[in-house]
């Protein structure tokens, strides 16, 4: 009797949240899967089922490939810069936990991560500006000629990677700091008694022990970089948002197909590709983690 009432309470209490969750998460996720196999051009009424036709067209669409290529370059570029740098910075901050400036280090490294995306991107847009930007002024000191960072296809990718890494770094540092705080002390004591230097014990004790954290941060960084949009929107868009020499990324291409070309079904198939990439990355993380757990 009492048990039954507790069960009723639990269900009644969770029901509103569950209803919301269903309506704003599960329903649209189901819908995107459904739309991806239908042809729906916003203007027409009927949505015929066309199987994998959207995907077939997508894989022959050079704009999609350009978007996928750019997005992948950005994501892995951010990964390669962020992870090693975050590990080093976190280790140094952790080493100086007792320093008077410990709070300053944490705050300054983290501020780019919380600063609003658009103003931050604007700051970088100015830095990269070909005529007025301090970056070219700085490079000029070394005799390097001014580059048009935001108009050259390769350099604008570099600019986006720099901006995204600058934002992602703080998050990775915080996660590494948590990881470092959870490492067992005894190992470092033993290493110290054996005469290991600080750098040695970092290289041979901390880094291997932090592997699960590295894996986690890498996947989070990759996944969020695959969803890059605002940074590109601000950094690599011309006047009136016209695609002069724009860096096309997946989310941009998807939104353009849905809301500029009114091809919702087609855009949905692009979303499904994005989802597949994210799922693969997550699956890789879990597999590697399980392997590690099995061995140790």
Partner 1 sequence: MSDQSLSSTPSRGNSARKRMLVDRSIDAFLVLFGLIMVLPLLMLVANAFKTPQELISWPPTLVPNNPTLDNITAVLNDTPLLLWMFNSFAFAALSTVAILATSAIAGYILGKFRYRSLNIIFLVILATAIVPFEVYMIPLYFQVQSLGLLNSLWGLLIGYLVMSFGIFLIRQNVIHSIPDELLEAARIDGAGELWIFFFIVLPLLRSALGALAVLAFFQAWTAFAWPLIVATTRDSYTIEVGLALFQTGFTVDLGKLSAASAIVLIPSVTLFVLLRKNFVEGVAGTGLKE
CB of 62 vs partner 1, minimal distance in Å: 22
Q: Which of 151, 164, 84 is nearest to 124 (CA)?
A: 164
| 38 bridge partner residues | 49
Distance CA 131, CA 127 (A): 10
The reply on whether position 52 binds partner 1 by CB under 8 A is: no
- In the complex with partner 1, which residue's Cβ is closer, 27 or 63? 27
Give the residue, chosen from 117, 130, 155, 288, that forms a contact with partner 1 under the rule CB under 8 A: 117
The reply on whether position 201 binds partner 1 by CB under 8 A is: yes
Contact string 86-115 vs partner 1 (x = CB under 8 A): ---x-xxxxxxxxx-x-xxxxxxxxxx-xx
Q: By rule CB under 8 A, what count of residues binds partner 1?
A: 113
Tokens of 36: 């991806």
The reply on whether position 11 binds partner 1 by CB under 8 A is: yes
CA angle 159, 272, 60 (to 5 degrees): 75
Give the residue, chosen from 155, 229, 256, 284, that forms a contact with partner 1 under the rule CB under 8 A: 229
CB of 213 vs partner 1, minimal distance in Å: 7
How far the first Cα of the chain sits from its last, in Å, is 47
The reply on whether position 271 binds partner 1 by CB under 8 A is: yes
Q: Which H, E and C letters describe 219-254, residue by residue?
A: HHHHHHHHCCCHHHHHHCCCHHHCCCCCCCCHHHHH
Q: Which stretch binds partner 1 (CB under 8 A): 47-55, 59-67, 151-159, 224-232?
A: 224-232
Is 252 exposed, middle or buried, given 0-12, 13-18 or 19+ CB atoms closer than 10 A?
A: buried
- In the complex with partner 1, which residue's Cβ is closer, 157 or 214? 214
- In the complex with partner 1, which residue's Cβ is closer, 139 or 155? 139
Q: Which stretch binds partner 1 (CB under 8 A): 5-13, 51-59, 64-72, 151-159?
A: 5-13
| 263 bridge partner residues | 41
The reply on whether position 46 binds partner 1 by CB under 8 A is: no
The reply on whether position 199 binds partner 1 by CB under 8 A is: yes
Tokens of 258: 């849905």
> In Å, how far are 104, 118, 229 from 99, measured between CA atoms?
10, 33, 38
Complete DSSP assignment for 85-110: HHHHHHHHHHHTTTSTTHHHHHHHHH
Give the residue, chosen from 64, 165, 179, 222, that forms a contact with partner 1 under the rule CB under 8 A: 179
Residues 119-158 that bind partner 1 (CB under 8 A): 119-120, 122-127, 132, 134, 137
Give the residue, chosen from 71, 206, 218, 269, that forms a contact with partner 1 under the rule CB under 8 A: 206
């Amino acid at each position: 009797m009492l048990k039954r009432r507790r069960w009723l309470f639990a269900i009644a209490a969770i029901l509103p949240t569950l209803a919301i969750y269903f309506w704003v998460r599960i329903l649209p996720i189901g819908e995107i899967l459904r739309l991806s196999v239908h042809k729906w051009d916003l203007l027409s009424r009927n949505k015929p089922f066309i199987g994998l036709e959207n995907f077939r067209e997508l894989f022959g669409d050079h704009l999609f490939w350009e978007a996928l290529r750019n997005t992948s370059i950005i994501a892995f570029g951010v990964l390669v810069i962020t992870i090693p740098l975050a590990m080093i910075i976190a280790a140094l901050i952790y080493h100086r936990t007792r320093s008077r400036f410990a709070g300053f280090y944490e705050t300054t490294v983290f501020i780019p991560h919380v600063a609003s995306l658009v103003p931050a991107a604007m700051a970088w847009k100015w830095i990269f500006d070909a005529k007025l930007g301090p970056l070219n002024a700085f490079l000029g000191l070394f005799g390097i000629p001014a580059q048009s960072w935001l108009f050259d296809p390769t350099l604008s990718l570099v600019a986006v990677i720099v901006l995204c890494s600058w934002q992602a770094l703080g998050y990775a540092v915080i996660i590494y700091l948590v990881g470092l705080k959870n490492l067992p002390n005894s190992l470092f004591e033993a290493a110290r008694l054996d005469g290991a230097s600080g750098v040695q014990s970092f290289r041979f004790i901390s880094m291997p022990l932090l592997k699960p954290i590295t894996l986690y941060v890498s996947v989070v960084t990759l996944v969020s970089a695959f969803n890059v949009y605002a940074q590109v929107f601000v950094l690599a868009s011309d006047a009136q948002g016209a695609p002069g020499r724009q860096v096309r990324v997946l989310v941009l291409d998807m939104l353009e197909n849905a809301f500029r070309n009114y091809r919702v079904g087609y855009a949905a198939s692009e979303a499904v590709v994005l989802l597949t990439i994210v799922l693969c990355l997550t699956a890789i993380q879990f597999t590697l983690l399980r392997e590690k757990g099995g061995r140790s």
